[in-house]
Structures are given as structure tokens and as C-alpha cells.
Amino acid sequence: MASVKQFQVTFDCADPERVARFWCEVLGYVVPPPPEGFATWDDFNRSLPPEAQGSAFACVDPTGVGPRLFFQRVPEGKVVKNRVHLDVRVGTGLVGEERLAALEAECARLIPLGAVRGQLLLADEENESCQNMQDIEGNEFCLD
């Protein structure tokens, strides 16, 4: 049996393009080219039936290493904590004050983009420090 080599992460949200562009900034991802025959994503979007316009958007790792992120519009808002979240690895290999400084610097970069700071979890016997955050629609993620 073959093992899975690629996957995408799908976000339910109210405004797919807005959330996708937020994550492009967070991760250094890019918006892929529009489908063949369309000069822009706006052109493609206008070709869809009105109810489908703006219903989905995606972004990709320009290096091809990270997973594709897909954002789909859903009618309901976010109500409870995510069951799955992204850990944005900004402090890998760092400990103590050096790690806290890296987490704080990334947090300071993301807040002007619309991220919301959550609880800072300090290192203990098992885990290094991490900073809980929320994206522009309230989806939790961690700076790790």
C-alpha cells in the first residue's frame, strides 16, 4: 500500500480570500496562478455563478515543500475551539529568553496583519514556550 506524500489543510471561513492572504503573509506562501484562460483570479471569479463567487481560495508554499492551504466559505461562524491547528515554527532550536524573544517578535509582526495574541505558555519540564494566537477569523494557531 502506498503512503500519502502530499496533503492540504482546509479552513472553513467566511471570507476565503481575506483569510488566505493573511496566511500568505504569516507563512511566506503565495497565491497560485489563476486557471488557464483567465488573466486574474478576479476574472475567474466573475465567470462563476453568483452563489459560487468568492466561495474558495488557496495559497501554496512557493518552495513546493509545505502543504497547500485551501479556504472554503461556510455559512456558519466559528463557535468553539479548533480541533486541529497550525503550529508556526518560529522558535525551533531556541530555548529560554532567546525563544521568548523570537515568539514575541513574530507575534508583533502578525498583530498588524489582524492576528490576535492569546495565552503565552511558558516552558515546563516537557515543552518549550509557545504563544497561542488567533487568525483574522478567530482560528487558533500557535507560534512554536
pLDDT along the chain (144 residues), means of 10: 78 95 97 95 94 95 95 89 89 93 96 97 91 96 95
Q: What pLDDT is stored for residue 81 in this prediction?
A: 82
Structure letter (DSSP) for residue 88: E
The Cα–Cα gap between 111 and 70 comes to: 22
pTM comes to: 0.88
Q: What pLDDT is stored for residue 83 in this prediction?
A: 80
**Direct distance between the N- and C-terminal alpha carbons of the chain, in angstroms, rounded to an integer:** 34
Is residue 115 within 8 Å of 135, Cβ to Cβ? yes
The Cα–Cα gap between 80 and 104 comes to: 26
Q: What pLDDT is stored for residue 2 in this prediction?
A: 66
C-alpha cell at 92: 525551533
